[in-house]
Amino acid sequence: MHYTATGLDNRKIAIWAFIGSECMLFMSLISTYLIYKGKSVVGPFPHEAWTDPMTGRVFHGILDIPVTSASTFVLLMSSLFMVLALAAVQNKHVPKHTTGDRILGSSRLWLFMTALAGTTFLGFQAFEFTSFVHEGLTIRRNLFGSTFFTLTGFHGAHVTAGVLWLLTLLAIDFKRGLTAADEMVVDMCALYWHFVDVVWIAIFTLIYLIR
Amino acid sequence: MTTAAITPHVTDYKTAGAYTGQKGIWSWLTTVDHKRIGKLYLFTALFFFMVGGLEAVVIRAQLGGPNRSLVSAEFYNQLFTMHGTTMVFLAIMPLSAAFFNFLIPLQIGARDVAFPRLNAFSYWVYLFGGIFITVPIFFALAPNGGWFGYTPLTTKAYSPGINIDFWVIGLLILGVSSLAAAFNFLTTIINLRAPGMTLMRMPMFTWMSFVVQFLLVLAFPVITIALVFLLFDRFFGTNFYTVTAGGDPLLWQHLFWIFGHPEVYILVLPAFGLVSELLPTYSQKPLFGYAVVVYSGILIGFLGFGVWAHHMFAVGMGPVADTVFSLTTMLIAIPTGVKIFNWIATVAQGKLKFTTAMLFALGLISLFTIGGISGIMHSSPPANLQQTDTYFIVAHFHYVLFGGSIMGIFGGIYHYFPKMFGRLMHEGLGKIHFWLTFIAMNLTFFPMHYAGLLGMPRRIYTYDANQGWDLFNAISTGGAYLLGVAIIVFIWNFLSSMKRGAIAGPNPWNAPTLEWSIPSPPPEYNFAQTPEVHSRYPMWDQRASDVDHPKVNLTEGKSPEQMGIIMPYNTIKPLVVALGLVVMFSGLIASRDPATGGSKPVLWVMFAGAAVMIGALYSWLLSPLEPEHHAH
């Protein structure tokens, strides 16, 4: 590595700056959601039931907390897999003696598992979006729909970008094998992935859990 | 402190056989050299500055007398919207970026920025985005909702046409450029400082740029989201700014000004940094209270995030909010005032050299102070309610942005032109330019204070006679024409000096910082040998061990190969990625919706753009930056 004033890799500083910027992005989205909470003129609403005065149709609170808890669990587990993937890349040079060592040391396995968990989360989100639309909540329906789909959609887009990044790393790993020289790229991907997870914790708490 | 200058090493860099760098259009399209990208920014931003200036001249021609009908009311809206948008996003910010690019690596003793290809990408996105947002005015389809784009005026219900779509998408594109550049410069300043270049030894321009990068990183995501909401409202029928659906008409204003006020410091702090380089040089004494200037710059940046609602006193936020934002606004005058006193104390008892650059620096101190004082006036809500949306405000922010940013940038151009091009700008023409600008600037903007206090509202395309505004408007218009003349003098001086200016030598001004230790223009590799820094003013405070480095670094006319220095490859990929990005966004606008007169997305254009962008991005990320290093 070239000389740097802090001894850190340039890319490490850049990804932290990027994450700082992303914090403001999600803060703007989350704040807007919270400001508009309870301001929708028509339902469906997140938690409360609503009866359409025109048709008499009853809309129940639309958020399905048990299902989203499951997808949240999957996403949180993906962070664990990401940690294992990074550790596997960092310890490439360490000799593996037992089957356990080889499993823990397989960057391909853990990159795959992380991407799989991310994709599963996206599958849950696709299911959630579709069922909301069927229940009558679209992005145009009311303020809740606009803010909810935009916020969670932005998060989903971030997860998608992360999955693409992971799959790219996986492809490189299969093609030529990730080495200690690639550690920084995997580290950056991991930081990004954990950040996206942390944002989800905030979203899950503020939107789903708090009434 | 000794002020003995390094022996002037004046060589005509066009000596036969000497290496003069890369040539040809292709080398400019593929360059990753921060100095050449800086020049690209400079030329492009000066071009857009003239476009914005031309729009201003038409505005002033229309307002020169009562009841004129040079342009229609509708086209007038497009003119003032594009004048503001152009000057903020396409002229002043990129002019600052030109200096970030050219100067920061030189001032901190680095070979380039941290991510040279990302740097090229930022420039190309800026260029394509600038063209995207500027072209519509030639078809009278330009954005027409003001540079601040207040909702609900800019929502589909009230602005159904294609105009606002160009504005929303154009600003989203330009945001990508600013953010990419900010990550790059933040990393560069943190990580690429030469040995010994501690934070508190950094040149003041680099320091103020450092603060600006933080502001960019934190402020731009907010406007990005505000714009995304507006985009969704316009294209997908969401309700963010729809009042009938329960939307808050103030949401946009809050988000916009949370970005917009830091943006003011993004525009002015680089100019503050530049004059903090100029004043010590032309006074031949160190900047007074260096540490305090640094801290006040940081404090301005920090407080800049806590004053946004002073743009909104008239909307009725209530006494508590008004009081808080009024107080924070008054507070911000303290660090700003500190800077002004530091500059004055720097000049006091110095060995003053009244070069053109120095005149512009002094011009900034005097004119910015006037803008600062009128700023304090509207920080008080009762006064603000009288002044808001009048020409008094127009006068205020032109004293801040023209008197502050533009004066500082002009000073910076005269000061750094020799470093950029190896030749001096003509001082006689420069002084004519300065005095014309100084006089014309005051003629244009000072009467606006009076017109505003007499009740003349902003953004009206004409007015009736005998309201007491006629004379002030006539003077303003005359001043604007004179400013046009001043710019012509400047451009003439700039272009002719590039060809025929006197050869400058490495340090024509006996300036103290690192960029002056290398030839003018600097070789591609900047420093043949990484300098070691022992003080804030290495060119003034030389120790025996330091003197060698500048000598080693004064190696003119040698190519990187001759010096055995590995340089990054040129590459077209950043340009292709930028092009793909802009095509992708253009897809949103590619077709006109006959039902509304607005635009309709065309999916295949968006997918084609995205495919080009992603393909070129992968190709870029998977190819090495520079040849592999071989152990010698």
**Whether A32 and B240 lie within 8 Å, measured CB to CB:** yes
Residue with tokens 């990550």: B183
Amino acid B3: pLDDT: 37
Residue among B179, B238, B247 whose CB faces A140 most closely: B238
User: Using one digit for the tens of pLDDT, what is the confidence trace for A150-173?
Assistant: 999 999 999 999 999 999 999 999
Residue A1 lies in a domain: no
Residue A204 lies in a domain: yes
**Whether B190 and A5 lie within 8 Å, measured CB to CB:** yes
Residue A4 lies in a domain: no
Query: What is the count of structural domains for chain A?
Result: 1
Beta bridge partners of B592: B599
Residue among B218, B238, B240 whose CB faces A24 most closely: B218
A196/A202 Cα distance (integer angstroms): 10
Residue with tokens 């999916």: B603
Judging contacts by C-beta atoms under 8 Å, the chain A residues touching residue B247 are: 36, 39, 143
Structural domain span for residue A28: 10-209
Mean pLDDT, all residues of chain B: 92
Q: How far from the centroid of its chain's Cα atoms is residue A161's Cα?
A: 9
Please provide the DSSP assignment of B308-357 as one string: GGGG-GGG---HHHHHHHHHHHHHHHHHHHHHHHHHHHHHTTS-----HH
Q: Which residue of A15, A29, A32 is the best one to mutate when testing the B interface, meaning the one whose CB has the most B CBs within 10 A? A: A32
Amino acid B552: pLDDT: 59
Q: Which residue of A133, A137, A143, A149 is the best one to mutate when testing the B interface, meaning the one whose CB has the most B CBs within 10 A? A: A143
Question: Which of B220, B227, B131 shows the shortest CA–CA distance to B179?
Answer: B220
Q: What is the mean pLDDT of each run of 10 residues along chain B (632 residues)?
A: 38 50 89 96 98 97 96 96 97 97 96 96 98 95 94 92 94 97 97 95 97 97 97 94 92 96 96 97 96 96 94 93 95 95 96 97 97 93 94 97 97 97 96 98 97 95 94 97 97 96 93 92 89 89 57 67 84 97 93 80 93 96 82 44
B241/B252 Cα distance (integer angstroms): 7
User: Per-domain residue ranges for chain B?
Assistant: 28-553
| Size of the A and B interface in Cβ pairs below 8 Å | 108
User: Using one digit for the tens of pLDDT, what is the confidence trace for B63-116?
Assistant: 999 999 999 999 999 999 999 999 999 999 999 999 999 999 999 999 999 999
Q: Which residue of B225, B230, B257, B525 is the best one to mutate when testing the A interface, meaning the one whose CB has the most A CBs within 10 A? A: B225
Those residues with Cβ within 8 angstroms of residue B310's Cβ, 6 or more apart along the chain or in another chain: B261, B325, B326, B328, B329, B378, B379, B384
**Residue B161 DSSP label:** S
Q: Which CATH number do you get for residue A94?
A: 1.20.120.80
Judging contacts by C-beta atoms under 8 Å, the chain B residues touching residue A143 are: 239-240, 245-247
**Whether B238 and A3 lie within 8 Å, measured CB to CB:** no
Minimal Cα distance from B108: which residue of A?
A: A5
B529/B109 Cα distance (integer angstroms): 9
Residue A3 lies in a domain: no
Confirm or reject contact between B184 and chain A (CB < 8 A): yes
**Whether B238 and A18 lie within 8 Å, measured CB to CB:** no
Q: Are B617 and B584 in contact (CB under 8 A)?
A: no
Residue A35 lies in a domain: yes
Our CA dihedral for A25, A28, A30, A35, rounded to 10 degrees, sits at -170
Shortest Cα–Cα distance, B241 to chain A (Å): 9
B residues 511..530 contacting A (CB < 8 A)? 530
User: Using one digit for the tens of pLDDT, what is the confidence trace for B319-355?
Assistant: 999 999 999 999 999 999 999 999 999 999 999 999 9
Judging contacts by C-beta atoms under 8 Å, the chain A residues touching residue B187 are: 10, 13-14, 17
- Catalytic positions of B, written as ranges: 83, 112, 147, 177-178, 261, 263, 265, 276, 310-311, 336, 339, 458
Judging contacts by C-beta atoms under 8 Å, the chain B residues touching residue A147 are: 240
Amino acid B1: pLDDT: 36
Residue type for position B49: F
Judging contacts by C-beta atoms under 8 Å, the chain A residues touching residue B237 are: 139-140
Confirm or reject contact between A160 and chain B (CB < 8 A): no
- Centre a 10 Å sphere on the Cβ of residue B315 and count the other Cβ atoms it contains: 13
Q: Which CATH superfamily hosts domain B28-553?
A: Cytochrome c oxidase-like, subunit I domain (1.20.210.10)
Residue among A10, A17, A41 whose CB faces B246 most closely: A41
